[in-house]
Chain A
Amino acid sequence: MSMWIDVGALADIPVRGARVVKSPAGCIALFRTADDAVFALDDRCPHKAGPLSDGIVHGKSVTCPLHNWVISLETGMAGGADEGAVATYPADVRDGRVLIDASRLAGRRAA
């Protein structure tokens, strides 16, 4: 069962930028690409837990601000020679509002 929660206006996320949403599963980073698509990922790099929301967004990837791991916004997988992944969550934009599907968050607790 999907459980869509309105977390704010698209306009509040900078283009090629990110904002953080606090959830039961910890901080979730909401990314907005150059083409106004929105992606939701855990805000912890699989490498050393860097805040991905502070990274540089390019194409459909974000580069972690701590050690330049490149994480796919679509799959959460690390690119290149790096191995690891972060959880991704369904996110959508409707009428200028950003929604995330919290159905997978409810059961989890922040580590």
Chain B
Amino acid sequence: MSKPKLVVVGAGMASGRVLEHLFETDAAAYDVTLFSAEPRGNYNRIMLSPVLSGEKTYEEIVTHDADWYRAHGVDCRFGETIVKIDRARKVVVSAKGETPYDKLLIATGSAPVMIPVPGRDFDGVMAYRDLDDVERMLAAAKAKPGADAVVIGGGLLGLEAAAGLSRQGMNVTVLHLMGHLMERQLDPAAGYLLRRELESRGIRVHCEASTQAILGEGKAEAVLLADGTVYPADLVVMAVGIRPETRIATDARLRVERGLVVDDHMVTSDPDILAVGECVEHAGKVYGLVAPLYEMAKTAAATLLGREAPYRGSVTSTKLKVTGVDLFSAGDFAEADGHEDIVFRDPGRGVYKRLVLKDDRIVGAVMYGDAADGPWFFGQLKDGADVSAMRDTLIFGPAYAGGSALDPMAAVAALPDEAEICGCNGVCKSRIVAAIQDGSGDLAAVRATTKASSSCGTCTGLVEQLLALTLGDDFAPPTVQPMCACTDLAHEDVRRLIKSQELKSMASVMQELGWKTSCGCHVCRPALNYYLLADWPEEYADDPQSRFVNERNHANIQKDGTFSVVPRMWGGITTPAELRAIADAAEKYAVPTVKVTGGQRIDLLGVSKSDLPAIWADLNQAGLVSGHAYAKGLRTVKTCVGTDHCRFGTQDSTALGIAIEKRMWGSWTPHKVKMAVSGCPRNCAEATCKDVGVICVDSGFEVGVAGAAGMDVKETERLAKVATQEEAIELICAFVQLYRENAKYLDRPYKWVAKVGLDWVKARVVDDLESRQALVARFDLSQRVYQKDPWAERAAPDRARAFQPLADIVLEAAE
């Protein structure tokens, strides 16, 4: 009696596993014929990346060799593509003819998605899917050492391709459409660490990169992005995603949605046709990882043998196969109702771990830098285990699971004498304890005598615990005011560390300085955004979502949610045409209140948010720009009429005021900065109570700083007297830049000068000419980036939309 015939289409990992189960259970059940479009049998596809990087050979990743197929009597038809299934006659059709089946197993896997940009069919543009692709990449790397490769797609596959190509000596750039790498598996913090690691290996990463075209003539030469950036590319690898390969199933009128639809027994809409792997859709889900495929294979083999082993869907986890990158991700880690986070960061070791809990169960896990506990967390997740009893120590993994919560003081007390406390300066516990016993009674003294905690500062907490342990009740904990509840560090420490550790993004600050929340709060984010843009004007991109409402909307919010609009009037000088434009705008937008401000300009109060772009566009037409009346930045330079009209004026105070304002407008500062120039000591412009005030005298200009006329009233202190207008402007720019670089966010200049001392300021701004010039140069550099009219940018139609409602569903919802 002849055996029933099983035909398998596709010799990949899923069908390979089905055959293994089948032969193990009942080797004589079927006559098996195996078709594959690839000219080879089953190999471990997830190990392609190590082959690309040169860490493994093809032979090492073969799962089933010719001997295995022969031993199990499989009729191998490799390199023969099935083009049609005739379900009525139960045959499959290839170029070489027909093959009958009793049972058919479809395992056609998936096909890479090629993004539809011009140039995608050029030579040198390819996907990353099978061994042939790997061989083409290896050939490209060998043909031209140091050639440029661009990988489009910063997901799992793209990054493995990038790391492999980089190891083969290519100069690699990764383009990723989203804001951070592997956004489906990683949260922004872990994505940042991954990016940092790849960049340290010389791989360039460009996020939010929208590919517009591949440039070249028949052969790829470069990739053009929508923002105009061009990257040279001898090789372009598209790794943006995969889609189930279902063409023959669709042609055979099997039920296909996103993938070939199967039931819990891996049976398609035809009871004699089964399917497994990446081509199938089960319960609405399509899988692209290996673990679910293996679970499906178990079920399919059972079904083929007339047994029951229903498949119930899979929870998946991910590990990135790049040597030296330790990363794990599983489950759901999106912010959602009832989700709670446990976050652990160890900046020194570059470790980030995050567990997402819901109803006392782990629903998601992301780990970077130390993923050893990943499988254990994944087990807890899959089991739906109640973790409430071990929640306090859960993040430390199975080693502490269920143990008692650790007393941090006990942990420090238990450290051996030779335990290193300060990694930067190599200071061990015993040395710090000895210094404390010798009289170093506070943090500053310990820093001075041992250098511990004097560099990056992340061990400050440990040093303080040692002080408390050694001194007992004699230790008075320091009274540093942390920035906010997200960190124990004070503003001054954060500023210092941003500079010394060259932290150039919000994510890097939060990771390296051990932020306790995943994305900060309304207190720290605006401060960090300012520190970063002030210290790294060229590298850091201003983050509108970390700005207070007024700076995000470039207008001042009022108590009823409307806004006020204040155009700039340079030095308080205006013209009939400008006034006419302002009057027209006030009428057109029915502005309820028009007010003259203390800073010599006009305030239009009560404008609705959705009218802002239009009123700005109208004012722009008349040459008026934003007055930054809402900014922690340069506000106004108030002037008197000076020598132009006044019989007492000694210098052209109006011209100087306008020149200062033209040079400095648009600059962001720790708090608002108001200036004035008075043409004589009668001081009609009230320059002696400003952040910076100039009093003109016959022999030159007296520049005063650090005045106040708000909650405190304070006269300016004299910074210097200079002979020329140019010198006065240089001095003021240098002073403001020093303030920009050093002050705490929300400290006005008078508060900052009181902390650092006027002599410290004078030494850098007045006495040291080289320092003054360097400050001015850095100020001008920042101005090249930030001196742009924000109104003109936001009045443009594509950006103006953001000020309008997203939708109006009044009618739709009322039905």
Contact = CB atoms under 8 A, between A and B. Distances in A.
A, B: real partners: yes
A57 interface: yes
Nearest to B333: A35
Interface in A49-63: 49-51, 54-61, 63
A87 interface: no
Contacts of B517: 58-59
Nearest to B338: A74
B522 A70 contact: yes
B336 A37 contact: yes
22 contacts: A8-B807, A12-B801, A14-B545, A16-B519, A19-B806, A20-B805, A22-B810, A23-B809, A24-B814, A27-B805, A36-B334, A37-B334, A48-B559, A49-B561, A50-B561, A51-B557, A54-B549, A54-B609, A56-B521, A58-B522, A98-B806, A102-B809
Contact of A106 (B802, B807, B814): B814
A65 B548 contact: yes
A21 interface: yes
A68 B805 contact: no
A59 B559 CA distance: 26
Contacts, number: 123
Given A15-B179, A50-B561, A35 B813 contact: no
Nearest to A67: B559
Contacts of A37: 334-336
Given A24-B810, A54-B553, A34 B188 contact: yes
A78 interface: no
Interface residues of A, number: 47
A102 B518 CA distance: 31
A54 B609 CA distance: 10
B559 A66 contact: yes
Contacts of B520: 58
A34 B518 contact: yes
B522 A63 contact: yes
A48 B558 CA distance: 12
B522 A56 contact: yes
Contacts of A14: 544-545, 802
B518 A5 contact: no
B187 interface: yes
Given A35-B334, A59-B517, A60-B335, A5 B548 contact: no
Given A17-B545, A22-B809, 5 more contacts: A19-B806, A51-B609, A55-B549, A58-B519, A74-B337
A85 interface: no
Interface in B321-364: 333-339
B813 A106 contact: yes
B815 interface: yes
B522 A68 contact: yes
Interface string B545-562: 111110011000101110
B549 to A, nearest CB: 4
A34 B806 contact: no
Interface of A: 3, 5, 7-8, 12-17, 19-25, 27, 30, 33-37, 48-51, 54-61, 63, 65-66, 68, 70, 74, 98, 100, 102, 105-106
B21 interface: no
A23 B813 contact: yes
B812 interface: yes
A30 B806 contact: yes
Given A22-B810, A106-B814, A59 B519 contact: yes
B441 interface: no
A12 to B, nearest CB: 6
A14 B335 CA distance: 15
Nearest to B188: A34
B698 interface: no
Interface string B525-559: 11000000000000000001111110011000101
A8 to B, nearest CB: 5
A33 B335 CA distance: 7
A105 B810 CA distance: 9
Contacts of B526: 56
Given A34-B518, A59-B519, A15 B545 contact: yes
A8 B806 contact: yes
A8 B802 CA distance: 12
Nearest to B561: A51
B24 interface: no
B808 interface: yes
A25 B814 CA distance: 9
Main secondary structure of the interface of B (DSSP, over half): loop
B522 A7 contact: no
A56 B813 contact: no
Contact of B813 (A3, A50, A66): A3
A33 to B, nearest CB: 4
Contacts of A58: 517, 519-522, 525
Contacts of B561: 49-51, 54
Contacts of A55: 522, 549
A95 to B, nearest CB: 11
A58 B518 CA distance: 8
A34 to B, nearest CB: 5
Contacts of A63: 521-522
Contact of A66 (B179, B545, B557): B557
Contacts of A17: 544-545
B596 to A, nearest CB: 25
A41 to B, nearest CB: 13
Nearest to A37: B335
B134 to A, nearest CB: 32
Contacts of A25: 813
Interface string B705-747: 0000000000000000000000000000000000000000000
Contact of A21 (B187, B808, B814): B808
A51 B805 CA distance: 13
A16 B813 contact: no
Given A16-B519, A54-B553, A65-B548, A21 B806 contact: yes
Contacts of B552: 54
B551 to A, nearest CB: 11
Contacts of A56: 521-522, 525-526, 545-549
Given A50-B561, A65-B548, A5 B187 contact: no
B612 to A, nearest CB: 12
A26 B798 CA distance: 26
A60 B205 CA distance: 29
A5 B815 CA distance: 12
B187 A35 contact: yes
Contacts of A68: 522
A44 to B, nearest CB: 9
A20 B155 CA distance: 32
A91 B519 CA distance: 22
Contacts of B814: 24, 105-106
B801 to A, nearest CB: 8
A74 to B, nearest CB: 5
B797 to A, nearest CB: 14
Nearest to B356: A35
Contacts of B337: 74
B519 A7 contact: no
Contacts of A102: 809, 812-813
B813 A34 contact: no
B809 A5 contact: yes
B806 A13 contact: yes
Centre residue among B547, B552, B801, B809 by max chain A CB count within 10 A: B809
A66 B546 CA distance: 16
B515 to A, nearest CB: 11
A33 B806 CA distance: 17
A56 to B, nearest CB: 4
Given A15-B179, A37-B336, A23 B545 contact: no
B812 to A, nearest CB: 6
A21 B809 contact: yes
Contacts of B609: 51, 54
A49 B558 CA distance: 12
A77 to B, nearest CB: 13
B809 to A, nearest CB: 5
A70 to B, nearest CB: 7
